[in-house]
Amino acid sequence: MAKKYFGTDGIRGRVGKFPMTAETVLKLGWAAGKVLASQGNRSVLIGKDTRVSGYLFESALEAGLASAGVNSRMLGPMPTPAVAYLTSTFRAAAGIVISASHNPYYDNGLKFFSTAGTKLPDDVELAIEETMKQDMTTVDSAELGRAVRVDDAAGRYIEFCKSTFPAGRKLTGMRIVVDSANGAAYDIAHRVFDELGATVISVGAEPDGMNINKDCGATAPDNLRAHVLLEKADVGLALDGDGDRLIMVDHRGEIVDGDKILYVLACARNEGGSMHGGVAGTLMSNLGFEHALGRRDIPFARAAVGDRHVLELLKKNDWQLGGENSGHIICLDRVTTGDAIVAALEVLAVMRTSGKPLADLLDDLQMYPQVLINVPIAEKVNLDSQPTIQSAVKDAEATLGDNGRVLLRPSGTEPLVRVMVEGVDAKEVEQICQQVADAVSAGLE
């Protein structure tokens, strides 16, 4: 059954336009409350990032839940992975994050977590969508839900994050720049690394409701690079607006994306005997990364783009480590979703244990050049049924051989087909990508 509200990562849109209106979010709170209350648990956690519209949707959600007889615990600004963790520790029926992640301030969204701290199962999302078709009602006054503020939420999560760092070890003597994207982790991230002994230089930590992700954070890592070089720091950490993505910068100013972070973690776990299975990446994971893992006999598998799909693949294969090159890193033996702070702590632990800077841990990783061309299309089509396009792809793959890859991916949000080609030779990759893009454009005329 097609979903009207829920996408691959919750609900998201422009503030003031469907579905991110006060009226719709009010009813979503009510519908979610009805479904959750029917399962016997009447407690929900609500967290948010620093967007100015968070106040609006926080109030609407709480009112909707209360009208369905469900109690709300209000967490205030809180990273997405923190809400997932706290939902589990509070044994709540669900956790809801008001955030549009890496999007600009004028967007917002809702992410739902189950009592286990994982994304809501499809059947629960479908039940909420079905309930949205009903007229909104209100329980008797004696049964209305209540709202309370959780004053120690940040402290609880900070202690959890610190508990994932090796016992007895500290970050004393390490100089770290932390860019929190003026988002949900603007205070928490600094405190975690500071309490572990690091000298922390905070940037992107002055949210005003409208500067979230603006020229900072994981989606704009040049800001972090500049500060790392200026401060002569050992390493830099960039989070996105809701704290579930991590991009790093080494002491030389080189950007370290999600694939590289996963490589550091996989190699360290493999050498330390704690690697459980293999690594789950996505269709966009770099082929050089996959080949480097193969040289170390570390299994690798690709999921569809999206951390939800990575998590599904990890569970299917009974693996623990996965993520996306965009910076979603899932350490399933520690957390239930992508967590930038926890992933950063594991990389810092590897640096501390090995005595090596981040750059040295990536010495033997050769990333392949990738070229991406967006081809506009009039309407969605089945690319597999276009012989001209498939012929161009086969010719490209034959030219590249085992040292290259071609990927055609229709955009889920725009009228585009994304053509991605990667291989060893940058000029060849660029030429082949243009040829395939031209074939896609001509084949869809």
Per DSSP, the three-state class of 90 is: coil
Rounded distance between C-alpha atoms, residue 68 and residue 38, angstroms: 10
Rounded distance between C-alpha atoms, residue 310 and residue 317, angstroms: 11
Give me the amino acid identity at 229: L
Whether 101 sits among the annotated catalytic residues: the reply is: yes
Per DSSP, the three-state class of 245 is: strand
Task: Spot the catalytic one: 101, 180, 202, 326.
Answer: 101
Burial of 151 (0-12, 13-18, 19+ CB in 10 A): exposed
Rounded distance between C-alpha atoms, residue 246 and residue 240, angstroms: 7
Rounded distance between C-alpha atoms, residue 31 and residue 136, angstroms: 8
Q: Residue 77 in contact with residue 41, Cβ under 8 Å? A: no
341 to each of 100, 243, 399, 435, how far by Cα in Å?
A: 19, 7, 41, 41
Name every residue whose Cβ is closer than 8 Å to that of residue 46 and which is 6 or more positions away in sequence: 58, 61, 62, 72, 73, 74, 75, 95, 96, 98
Name every residue whose Cβ is closer than 8 Å to that of residue 343 and which is 6 or more positions away in sequence: 246, 261, 265, 323, 329, 331
Active site residues: 101
